[in-house]
């Protein structure tokens, strides 16, 4: 009776041992396999490329060209001819770029201007082409097609007074009290005789306001002119 109870247990143990015996040593890992993988990686890192010197030329993409064949070494290079000494490339005379060019592309043998500045800069401000403006009351300016600013400054006449003033939004100084001149330290109007003190009469020079006034001093006694 005990043999019948032990039968299934012995059968299970037998099946377990049989399963273990089917495991291959390769599935666990063979040290020789790791050595082969390492050798393969080392060989790939030590690849020696063909030497084309004197036989051909290679471009940036790895394409090989025969001697005498024309090709472009790179995206922005000039065309070259493959020689025994290597590529001999054309050196054309490229057109000059616009001095106001703001965007240059190097997609071919010569650089190309793709965008030209279409405005002017003046004292930190920008203006459109042909736009006229006044940066100050005395200046009239215009943005020229060549992106340069040309200005004209007002030519003011010389004021006929010794105390000209500048009014807001006016370019040239003005004589608010009319023409005048100096009589000593006193400013007197032009065109008339002016008694600057009890004994002195002065008059401005005609048209020569910058000159001191002509003055005539008479003998006086107690503020009375002596005849």
Q: Is a pLDDT exceeding 80 seen at residue 216?
A: yes
Per-residue pLDDT averaged across 4-9, rounded? 44
Residues β-bridged to residue 215: 202
Is the pLDDT score of 168 beyond 60? yes
What confidence tier does 1 reach under pLDDT thresholds 50, 70, 90? very low
Residue 20 and residue 32: Cα distance in Å, rounded?
23
220 contacts 199 by C-beta, under 8 angstroms:
yes
pLDDT at 118 exceeding the cut of 60: yes
Tell me which of 13 and 186 has the higher pLDDT: 186
Query: Residue 44 and residue 59: Cα distance in Å, rounded?
Result: 23
Q: pTM for this structure? A: 0.37
What pLDDT, in 10s, does the model give residues 42-85?
444 443 345 566 778 888 888 889 999 998 887 667 888 999 88
pLDDT at 76: 60
pLDDT of residue 201: 93
Q: Which residues contact 98 (CB under 8 A, 6 or more apart)?
A: 113, 116
Of residues 164, 161, 177, the one with CA closest to residue 209: 161
Q: Pick 180 or 107 by higher pLDDT.
A: 180
Does 143 have pLDDT greater than 90? yes
E runs forming strands in the chain: 56-58, 64-66, 70-71, 80-83, 86-89, 101-105, 112-116, 119-122, 125-128, 132-133, 139-143, 149-153, 180-183, 186-189, 194-197, 200-203, 214-217, 220-221, 224-225
4/9 Cα distance (integer angstroms): 10
Residue 103 pLDDT class (50, 70, 90 cuts): confident
Asked if residues 149 and 122 have their Cβ atoms less than 8 Å apart, the reply is yes
The distance from CA 165 to its chain's CA centroid, rounded to whole angstroms, is 42
pLDDT at 35 over 70: no
Residue 210: per-residue pLDDT: 80
Indicate whether 11 pLDDT > 50: no
Q: What is the mean pLDDT of the chain?
A: 77
What is the reported pLDDT for 53? Answer: 67
In the predicted structure, residue 205 carries a pLDDT above the cut 90: no
Residue 224: the pLDDT is 56
Residues 12, 17, 20, 21: is their CA dihedral positive or negative? Answer: negative
Which among 104, 178, 118 is positioned nearest to 148, based on CA atoms? 118
């Amino acid at each position: 009776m005990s043999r019948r109870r032990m039968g299934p247990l012995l059968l299970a143990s037998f099946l377990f041992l049989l399963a273990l015996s089917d495991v291959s040593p390769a599935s666990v890992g063979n040290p020789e396999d790791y050595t082969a993988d390492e050798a393969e990686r080392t060989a790939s890192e030590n690849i020696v490329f063909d030497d084309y010197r004197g036989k051909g030329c290679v471009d940036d993409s790895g394409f090989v060209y025969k001697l005498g064949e024309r090709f472009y070494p790179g995206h922005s290079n000039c065309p070259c001819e493959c020689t025994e000494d290597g590529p001999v490339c054309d050196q054309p005379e490229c057109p000059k770029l616009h001095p106001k060019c703001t965007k240059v592309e190097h997609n071919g043998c010569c650089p190309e201007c793709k965008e030209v500045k279409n405005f002017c800069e003046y004292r930190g401000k920008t203006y459109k082409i042909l736009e006229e403006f006044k940066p100050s009351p005395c200046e009239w300016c215009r943005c020229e097609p060549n992106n340069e600013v040309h200005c004209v400054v007002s030519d003011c006449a010389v004021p006929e007074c010794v105390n000209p003033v500048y009014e807001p939004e006016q370019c040239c100084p003005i004589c608010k009290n009319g023409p005048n001149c100096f009589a000593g330290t006193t400013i007197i109007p032009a065109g008339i005789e002016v008694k600057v003190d009890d004994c002195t009469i002065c008059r401005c020079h005609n048209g020569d306001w910058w000159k001191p006034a002509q003055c005539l001093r008479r003998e006086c006694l107690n503020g009375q002119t002596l005849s």
